[in-house]
Structure 1
């Protein structure tokens, strides 16, 4: 049953998403987040976004690169292959648990894994030739300060590539709109970060930071089934524990039933735009 209703209840907001403090999560949620990071890296649409990022960053042989917010390290290892044996990559992540998982997956490439704060990098100025920062700034408290740090550690002539989501672009088809609006009102503050518009603001932020030659590429991810969407969109993933939803009784179940029904009919659709913005110092 998938009624078109509006419960008329005020949404419960939460200021930070699970990705903002992975080390502070329960063991169950920490495992969910790590699994999500791994599965996202394998998803064809996220790989399409990353291909646009590699084209924009243009990593050169022998370069030293920083992957700021490196997660489980798959991008850092790919960048290490691009820069070759004379280059190297610093894979930095705020979470000690995620860094440990990245070290466990190391493939002997020239990657050094460290924990640290993208807003206060323990690196000297002008120490890297390029920066990759993917879907991180939407979660930090002061994204412009973080961009300032990325700029500080990048040498003149170096490249900065920022990749982030425009969560305001998220749209669904196949489910009743009133139910969508009600559900999103509750989960937006928990499943979506405070800077929901981060993707489309990256160009302006880099321009203000003095980065030139900017390119801005919107990549619209298309998810044609609930299983595909669930990898990237937690609000359609039934594996996310019920306690993480912050919704009134029954709303999560009603929404997921509608998602499942749309998938069974074949008319489920979700779209989300992720921006790739890069420039030169």
Structure 2
């Protein structure tokens, strides 16, 4: 794990987790890839990136490879997708799920890519920048490897938009005060800053789309939101004794009564390199 990708969230250093937490995070990555709201976000991003046959694309922070394989289907046999992730465990999981498409899986740091300049036609970077220390420098590295006229597609979360209903508001505020920067990264507002960052980096034709994820049950929300997931062990929480159990009991009660609600905005931003 390179320093540029260290943070306090479990997703930031998967290889450094305990076996139990590593299993939970790997399972979460798989479940997220199947979630209807994540699929909706990815469809929005695909429509904006517009991958084409024959292109060579980079999936920077590729996880278990679902997007890389999706991109490979778009670029076809004449194209190629480079799937780069900092975690060797996640990369191994991606290789194990390979479908025979034209994807090459690599372990590496998205802030210091082992690729020549102007070597890819486009970049997909999903929910990665929120975890790096210097998002602008990382964007600069993604632009370095993108040829002129190539497109950069960034997808990231605005954790500041997270809101709940159906549970006591005061309790939720106390819980979030403890889990912010623990379950959520320090760059909690990354999604809303993507447009500014792409404009500042000199890209043209920058477009942005906010996608608001809606969760009307604790089970659906738990796939994306660790603070409502009872499978996350108590040792992983940063709350005082008893607060986790009190909060999760309220979440469960809201689910039982049908009043649970959670919303979270994830942004898609695309621009073209001059």
TM-score, with structure 2 as normaliser: 0.97
1:26 aligns with 18
Structure showing greater relative contact order (alpha-carbon pairs closer than 8 Å, 6 or more residues apart): 1
Alignment of 1:66-81 (within 5 A): 66-81=58-73
Alignment of 1:1-281 (within 5 A): 16-281=8-273
> Take 2:118 and 2:69, find their aligned partners in 1: how far apart are those partners?
22
> Take 2:268 and 2:238, find their aligned partners in 1: how far apart are those partners?
31
String of CA shifts for 1:40-67, please: whole Å, max 9, x gaps: 0000000000000000110010000000
> Take 1:141 and 1:204, find their aligned partners in 2: how far apart are those partners?
17
2:3 aligns with none
Cα RMSD, aligned residues only: 0.9
String of CA shifts for 1:126-178, please: whole Å, max 9, x gaps: 00000000000000111111000000000001010000000000000000011
TM-superposed deviation, 1:117: 0.5
Q: Which runs of 4+ in 1 moved over 2 A?
A: none
TM-superposed deviation, 1:35: 0.4
> Take 2:133 and 2:114, find their aligned partners in 1: how far apart are those partners?
18
TM-score, with structure 1 as normaliser: 0.94
Unaligned runs of 5+ in 1: 1-14
Residue aligned with 2:181, SS: helix
How many residues were matched structurally? Answer: 268
Residue aligned with 1:232, SS: coil
2:4 aligns with none
TM-superposed deviation, 1:16: 1.4
> Take 2:233 and 2:117, find their aligned partners in 1: how far apart are those partners?
42
String of CA shifts for 1:98-118, please: whole Å, max 9, x gaps: 000100010110000001101
